[in-house]
Amino acid sequence: EAGVAQSPRYKIIEKRQSVAFWCNPISGHATLYWYQQILGQGPKLLIQFQNNGVVDDSQLPKDRFSAERLKGVDSTLKIQPAKLEDSAVYLCASSSRGERHKGPDTQYFGPGTRLTVL
């Protein structure tokens, strides 16, 4: 079974530029997550999708960050314009949890995209 795919793996941009990250979850996984991991910290949830609907985006800086999950499969996360403090690893994760599944849920993470904002 293929894992969670992310691209690009690395990106360097100047502040005020735009950037987009792509994620392809494990086939059949209904739930998709985007996390931001700043150096020395644990991953922080930015947004959670259930199929193509947003479940939780309470920690997404909506003035500059946006995300979409078209057709309930792939997802893109965009930053426009980027700030120095956006330098981090952006992790995508997916899980098989559907709306009616209430049992333990394991999130599977992709390798991440390391963003450096200069």
Partner 1 sequence: DQQVKQNSPSLSVQEGRISILNCDYTNSMFDYFLWYKKYPAEGPTFLISISSIKDKNEDGRFTVFLNKSAKHLSLHIVPSQPGDSAVYFCAAAPTSYGKLTFGQGTILTVHP
In the complex, least distance from residue 16 CB atom to partner 1, rounded to whole angstroms: 28
Which residue's CB is nearer to partner 1, number 16 or number 54?
A: 54
Residues binding partner 1: number (CB under 8 A): 24
- Would you list the DSSP string of 69-86? -GGGS-EEEEESS--GGG
- Residues 73-92 within binding reach of partner 1 (CB under 8 A): 91
Task: Give the distance from CA 57 to its chain's centroid.
Answer: 11
Structure tokens, 56: 């939780």
Q: Which amino acid is at 93?
A: A
Q: Binding of partner 1 at residue 41 (CB under 8 A)? A: yes
Is residue 36 within 8 A of residue 93, CB to CB? The reply is: no
Q: End-to-end distance of the chain based on CA atoms, in angstroms?
A: 37
Distance CA 94, CA 65 (A): 20
- Residue of 60, 93, 115, 117 that binds partner 1 (CB under 8 A): 93
Q: Binding of partner 1 at residue 110 (CB under 8 A)? A: yes
- Span near partner 1 by CB under 8 A; candidates 12-20, 60-68, 77-85, 99-107: 99-107
Interacting residue ranges for partner 1, rule: CB under 8 A: 4, 40-45, 48, 56, 91, 93, 97, 101-112
